[in-house]
Amino acid sequence: MTDKQKDNEKDEQLESFRVNDKGKYMTTNQGLKVSEDELSLTAGVRGPTLMEDFHFREKLTHFDNERIPERVVHARGFAAHGEFELYQDMSRYTKAKIFTDTSIKTPVFVRFSTVNGARGSGDTARDARGFATKFYTEQGNYDLVANNIPVFFIQDGIKFPDVVHAFKPEPHNDIPQASTAHDNFWDFVANNPENAHMVMWIMSDRAIPRSFRMMEGFGVNTFRFVNATGEAFFVKFHWKPKLGAHSLTWEEAQKLMGVDPDFHRNDLWNAIERGDYPEFELGVQIVNEKDEFTFDFDLLDATKLIPEEEVPVIIMGKMTLTKNVDNFFAETEQVAFHPGNVVPGIDFTNDPLLQARLFSYIDTQLIRLGGPNFHEIPINRPICPFYNNQREGYHRMTINVGRVNYHRNSLAGNTPAPVPPEEGGYKHYEEKVEGRTIRARSKSFTDFFSQATMFWNSMSGPERKHIIDAFSFELGKVKNKSVRQQNVDLFANVDLELAETIARNIGVSPPTSGGSTVTKSSPALSQLNMPMSAKTRKVAIIVSDGFNGPLVKSVLDYWKSKGLVPEIISEDQGKVQGTKNVQLEATQNVYTADSVLYDAVYMVRGSSDDMAFNQKIANFLDEAFRHKKTIGATGQGVQWLNVNNFINKPGVITDENIPNFANRFVEAVAQHRHWDR
């Protein structure tokens, strides 16, 4: 463990709960030493098992009850510990200590997730990703429960069960798993047009991220900042990955579901184990209260975003993920997030989606974690002390001493005592509210298409093509022709050409009306405009005995110094012998390695006798080329590119000058993909 982690107060707290059984003797849960763990107690060696075998019963009973319900959404997740450091004092806008005191490093726990799939589904399904962060602040836990898409399907949380029912597997046959390519989802889409904007994002590359480390996060709902003088501001939260936001291709995502369904888990786990700590900057868009109505949409409408060109994102600080969990269940599965976990200086708005969330998260933990004491589970405990008159309930661990468990009292001097706001007690923002009791939506929520069109307008050529491909795949899987037609007609309101192309691909009539006059775009929405970096990119090094030792070694050393992560692939795992006594260790063979697992390929040498290996390499290169990845080759490796006619294509590097080669390769990898190929 590094010093950095030892400094972390949350880690110190967790340490008191950690148990390492290694080297210990075995006991029952009552501490009784066990003499036999493989044979149950029977009457005679072939006789009946005896009821009195308490060890057998305890072991089986515990096992029988190992599972808890998975999350109703976001069931599949993966988490890590880290810390948040503040770059600048934000006290102009908020009094929250984590955003005003630059000397504090706040421990965090972040859980990334898919939304739709069950716990055991694959990582690379087309889906939004959850990005939930628990800040263990000295003022209490603050949870920023975000997604990697800045908008949502619906405007009012009362519709949440409907949208979730619609995108989950169909209830009669539980098909399809972790996929929205089915009739129910698209029937919902067509009949609830407010989701048009979100669906554009779901059909885009954002829904198939390359890595949890390479996606943005968005608080989605508009929250409120309140400063020490009581002045309030609307605020939207943004996480910006230092490596930029990048995606898989759809073909890669599909193949990875078989080749490595844990692709994103492995990627995050391995990066942290290597010391390539993922970094995300936290930013905010701030809107003064007086400017609430200056937008062409409603700030309380979660199907809308504020274009960054109109309200720039102010970067407040950075989160670094530095430690993997010790135990998946204890930490990742039992962590309980809640958007209502806030600290003084952060408050809510009347966004009806947010208001529904404020109810739903606690409610779901009651069934998922079996009662009201889930805040006592180590991963959920605040690092600051907590005192109140709440008592009892399943699995209560705190032993509250003393007789008083009510307020107001005289027997304990009326303690625990509420704290006045000026001394740190939370006070809700005193918003003026008036209106009649009504079930209706404000007219300012009814423009469902302008921002969907803005998103479409903001996409680059390849990104648009991917959206069309995604619609054609998903709607093509819909069996009911009327549902297919309804969707084409709906998305004609976003862009006519988009809808016409989809209609052709899925065999329904082109739309007879529609089209958009919106010309606005927001360049910040295109992933092609994000930071590019070669750091932490995985490079497949294909090599056989007899390679040019010094050359390959110098190339690999240079790449490692630039943060690339080479992985050696050969006919067999184990030592590969080069000239001048250079040896490499092949950790992969062509059965374990697949081009979709890598960002780039360096072709050093094929085999002189293993033709099956060579055939697999040809396929490997072919696929990497098709997925627009950087391909490099030196020496004998160059011939492989000749065969496939890749030479001189964009992103194919074969420079004879080796420092040039190594450097040009890094620059090419940093471009992520070569769409102009």
What amino acid positions are annotated as catalytic residues? 74, 147
Structure tokens at 204: 């885009």
Rule CB under 6 A: say whether 224 interacts with ligand HDD.
no
Give whichever of 54 and 359 is closer to ligand HDD, judged by the CB atom.
Answer: 359
CB nearest ligand HDD: which residue?
A: 130
What letter does residue 65 receive in the DSSP assignment?
Answer: T
Binding mask 133-172 for ligand HDD (x = CB under 6 A): ------------xxx----x----x--x------------
Q: Pick from 55, 71, 95, 537 the residue near ligand HDD by CB under 6 A.
A: 71
Give whichever of 58 and 70 is closer to ligand HDD, judged by the CB atom.
Answer: 70
Question: Does a cis peptide bond (omega within 30 degrees of 0) precede residue 357?
Answer: no
Rule CB under 6 A: say whether 74 interacts with ligand HDD.
yes
Interface with ligand HDD in residues 564-623 (CB under 6 A): none
Helix (H), strand (E) counts: the chain? 17, 18
Which residues define the annotated binding site for heme? 71, 111, 160, 357, 361, 368
**What's the longest Cα–Cα distance across the chain?**
89
Residue written as token pair 């390499």: 617
Q: How far is the CB of 152 from ligand HDD (least distance, A)?
A: 4
Binding mask 324-353 for ligand HDD (x = CB under 6 A): -----------xxx---------------x
Q: Pick from 109, 223, 348, 361 the residue near ligand HDD by CB under 6 A.
A: 361
Query: Could you give the strand order of the β-sheet that contains 652-653, starting from the edge strand earlier in sequence?
Result: 588-589, 565-570, 538-542, 600-603, 630-633, 652-653
Give whichever of 215 and 668 is closer to ligand HDD, judged by the CB atom.
Answer: 215
To the nearest 10 degrees (0 to 180), the angle between helices 352-368 and 160-167 is: 60
Give whichever of 155 and 485 is closer to ligand HDD, judged by the CB atom.
Answer: 155
Rule CB under 6 A: say whether 130 interacts with ligand HDD.
yes
Residue 560 burial by CB count (10 A; 0-12/13-18/19+): exposed, middle or buried?
Answer: exposed
Rule CB under 6 A: say whether 110 interacts with ligand HDD.
no
How far is Cα 421 from Cα 106, in angstroms, rounded to an integer? 22
Give whichever of 336 and 492 is closer to ligand HDD, judged by the CB atom.
Answer: 336
Alpha helices in 292-388 (DSSP H): 352-368
Q: Pick from 155, 221, 222, 249 the residue near ligand HDD by CB under 6 A.
A: 221
User: What is the Cα 176 distance to its own chain's centre?
Assistant: 22
Residue written as token pair 């004092």: 89
Give whichever of 139 and 147 is closer to ligand HDD, judged by the CB atom.
Answer: 147
Q: How far is the CB of 116 from ligand HDD (least distance, A)?
A: 12
Binding mask 434-473 for ligand HDD (x = CB under 6 A): ----------------------------------------
Residue written as token pair 């490692």: 560
Q: Pick from 40, 327, 360, 589 the residue near ligand HDD by CB under 6 A.
A: 360
Q: How far is the CB of 448 from ligand HDD (least distance, A)?
A: 17
Rule CB under 6 A: say whether 200 interacts with ligand HDD.
no
Rule CB under 6 A: say whether 116 interacts with ligand HDD.
no
- Stretch of residues binding ligand HDD (CB under 6 A), selected from 20-28, 199-207, 316-324, 359-367: 359-367
DSSP 68-135: -PPPSSS-SEEEEEEEEEESS--TTT---GGGT-TT-EEEEEEEEEESSS-TTS-TTSSS-EEEEEEE
Beta strands at 538-542 and 600-603: parallel, antiparallel or unpaired = parallel
Which phi-psi region, left, alpha or beta, contains residue 301 (left: φ > 0; alpha: ψ -120 to 50)?
beta
How far is Cα 173 from Cα 181, in angstroms, rounded to an integer? 15
Rule CB under 6 A: say whether 364 interacts with ligand HDD.
yes
Q: Pick from 356, 404, 496, 518 the residue near ligand HDD by CB under 6 A.
A: 356
Give whichever of 445 and 665 is closer to ligand HDD, judged by the CB atom.
Answer: 445
Which phi-psi region, left, alpha or beta, contains residue 554 (left: φ > 0; alpha: ψ -120 to 50)?
alpha
- Are 545 and 577 a contacting pair, CB within 8 Å? yes
Residues lying near ligand HDD in the complex (CB under 6 A):
71-74, 77, 111, 113, 130, 132, 145-147, 152, 157, 160, 220-221, 302, 335-337, 353, 356-357, 360-361, 364
